[in-house]
């Protein structure tokens, strides 16, 4: 199963779960499965039309899906998908 790594700022929506395993065949499948399992993540990752938000980057391995086939990028069973958020510091 492909492994999706959830970044720290989003773990409050996954009960502090740092990784999510999925059998999804594409990035879109996996993200859909993720936001179905953890509905609080939806607004953080997807806009109203269901597209990935521009401040969230998604990688398969070390490659940005924007440079591959975007949402439709295929994900193999041994791939690691990373959500990379913009972080600025620990200030409040």
Partner 1 sequence: MATNAIEFSKEELERYSRHLIIPEFNIEGQRKLKAARVLVVGSGGLGSPLLLYLTAAGVGTIGIVDFDVVDESNLQRQVLFGVENKGMPKVDAAVARLRALNPHVNFRTYNEKFTSKNALDIIKDYDVVADGTDNFPTRYLVNDACVLAGKVNVYASIYRFEGQASVFNYTGPDGVTGPNYRDLFPTPPPPGLVPSCAEGGVIGVLPGILGSLQALEVIKVITGVGVPLSGRLFLFDATTFETRTVKVRRDPANPLNGTAPTQTGLIDYEQFCGLGISERKEEPRVKELTEQELKSLLDNGADIQLIDVREPYEYLIANLGAELMPLKQVSEFASRISKDKQVIVHCRSGVRSAKAIQELEQQFGFENLYNLKGGILAWAKEIDTEVATY
When binding is defined by CB under 8 A, the residue of 3, 42, 57, 70 that contacts partner 1 is: 57
Query: Judged by CB under 8 A, does residue 69 bind partner 1?
Result: no
Helix, strand or coil for residue 58? strand
Query: Judged by CB under 8 A, does residue 32 bind partner 1?
Result: no
Rounded to a whole number of angstroms, the minimum distance from the CB of residue 81 to partner 1 is: 11
| Sheet hosting strand 19-22, strand order edge to edge | 19-22, 2-5, 80-85, 56-60, 63-64
Length of the chain: 92
Q: Which residues bind partner 1 (CB under 8 A)?
A: 5, 7-9, 12, 18, 44, 54-55, 57, 59, 62-64, 66-67, 82, 84-92
């Amino acid at each position: 199963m492909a492994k999706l790594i959830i970044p720290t700022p989003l773990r409050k929506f996954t009960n502090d779960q740092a990784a999510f395993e999925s059998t999804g065949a594409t990035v879109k499948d996996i993200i859909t499965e993720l936001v179905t399992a953890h509905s609080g993540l939806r607004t953080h990752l997807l806009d109203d039309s269901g597209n990935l938000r521009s401040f969230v980057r998604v990688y398969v391995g070390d490659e940005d899906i924007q440079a591959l086939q975007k949402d439709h990028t295929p994900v193999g069973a041994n791939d690691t998908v990373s959500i990379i958020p913009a972080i600025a510091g620990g200030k409040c």
